[in-house]
């Protein structure tokens, strides 16, 4: 708010509360300067609505701190409802990308841009084109391009295991994974080759194939074979009943 904005705000306040504005011109000028300093980041329209909200809830005289607190809560609410994009695959944390995120936060906080909610999980088919991720949008705004399925980047496709959107990391039990689910990696390879994603039937078939291969490998071990474990787990060999580690 500017000094002129504060005087306009005082006119509004005086309509409902004559206890705020000083009657002495010198004191009123100093008071207006202090309010302008305290509320320098607050837009006048927001401050005008804050006056209404204050007197709807409180019989006490309005202070500039009351408006400033409403503004802080307003910004916090907008940022909490906003979902930022993740750095793209291979991002090195350069200043350009960081500056784009900071500019985005300022735009959301000031009301120039609306908060973006977390996208709802959705299933993708071979004929469904994924929507551009926010990471791609930000990179495009600063003159960069993000990896595409043609690059074999697994985060460029939807994950059918945890339903992570293109451009976002895979999660397990709500925690971000440092890698991606194997099925997403396979889908990325297929997308790069122009093939459809892995179906649930194919995934189950591959799981059964691996289990059968593991059973065959265990059955082929001679009785008494012991393998030193990497994690301390000691299973029992199916043929001999003796313990073996893997």
* Model confidence band, residue 121 (pLDDT cutoffs 50, 70, 90): low
Q: What is the DSSP string of 114-163?
A: PPPPPPPP----TTPPPPPPHHHHHHHHTT-----GGGT-GGGS--TTT-
Tens of pLDDT along 88-116? 555 555 666 677 778 888 888 878 888 87
Tens of pLDDT along 12-33? 999 999 889 998 989 999 999 9
Unique residue bearing structure tokens 């503004």 = 71
- What is the average pLDDT across 158-170? 83
- What is the average pLDDT across 158-162? 84
The reported pTM is: 0.45
Phi/psi of residue 236, nearest 5 degrees: -100, 135
Task: State residue 164's pLDDT score.
Answer: 85
- What is the average pLDDT across 133-146? 52
Task: State residue 228's pLDDT score.
Answer: 61
Task: State residue 157's pLDDT score.
Answer: 83
pLDDT at 240 over 80: no
- What is the average pLDDT across 37-47? 93
pLDDT at 163 over 80: yes
| Lowest-confidence segment of 50-64, 112-126, 139-153, 184-198 by average pLDDT | 139-153
Task: State residue 130's pLDDT score.
Answer: 44
Helix 64-80, helix 25-38: angle, nearest 10? 20
pLDDT top residue among 143 and 226? 226
Taking CA atoms, 34 is separated from 1, 14, 41, 75, 150, in Å, by 11, 18, 13, 22, 59
* Model confidence band, residue 134 (pLDDT cutoffs 50, 70, 90): low
Task: State residue 210's pLDDT score.
Answer: 75
Q: How far apart are CA 9 and CA 1, in angstroms?
A: 10
| Residue 223 · residue 242 · CB < 8 Å | yes
Task: State residue 137's pLDDT score.
Answer: 55
* Model confidence band, residue 187 (pLDDT cutoffs 50, 70, 90): confident
Tens of pLDDT along 198-225? 776 776 777 787 788 778 877 777 777 7
Task: State residue 64's pLDDT score.
Answer: 94
């Amino acid at each position: 708010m500017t000094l002129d904005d504060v005087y306009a705000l005082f006119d509004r306040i005086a309509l409902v509360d004559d206890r705020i504005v000083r009657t002495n011109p010198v004191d009123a000028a100093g008071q207006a300067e202090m309010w302008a300093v305290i509320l320098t980041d607050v837009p006048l329209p927001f401050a005008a609505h804050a006056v209404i909200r204050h007197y709807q809830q409180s019989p006490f005289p309005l202070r500039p701190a009351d408006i400033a607190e409403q503004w802080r809560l307003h910004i916090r609410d907008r940022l909490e409802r906003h979902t930022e994009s993740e750095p793209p695959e291979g991002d090195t944390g350069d200043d350009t990308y960081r500056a784009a995120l900071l500019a985005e936060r300022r735009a959301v906080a000031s009301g120039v841009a609306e908060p973006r909610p977390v996208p709802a999980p959705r299933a993708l088919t071979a004929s469904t084109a994924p929507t551009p991720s926010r990471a791609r949008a930000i990179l495009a705004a600063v003159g960069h391009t993000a990896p595409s399925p043609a690059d074999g980047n697994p985060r460029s496709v939807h994950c059918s295991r945890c339903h992570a959107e293109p451009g976002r990391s895979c999660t397990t039990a709500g925690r971000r994974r440092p890698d991606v689910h194997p099925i997403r990696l396979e889908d990325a390879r297929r997308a790069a080759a122009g093939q459809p994603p892995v179906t649930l039937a194919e995934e189950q078939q591959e799981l059964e194939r691996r289990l059968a291969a593991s059973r065959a490998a265990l059955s082929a071990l001679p009785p008494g074979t012991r393998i030193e474990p990497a994690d301390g787990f000691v299973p029992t060999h199916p043929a001999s009943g003796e313990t073996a580690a893997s």
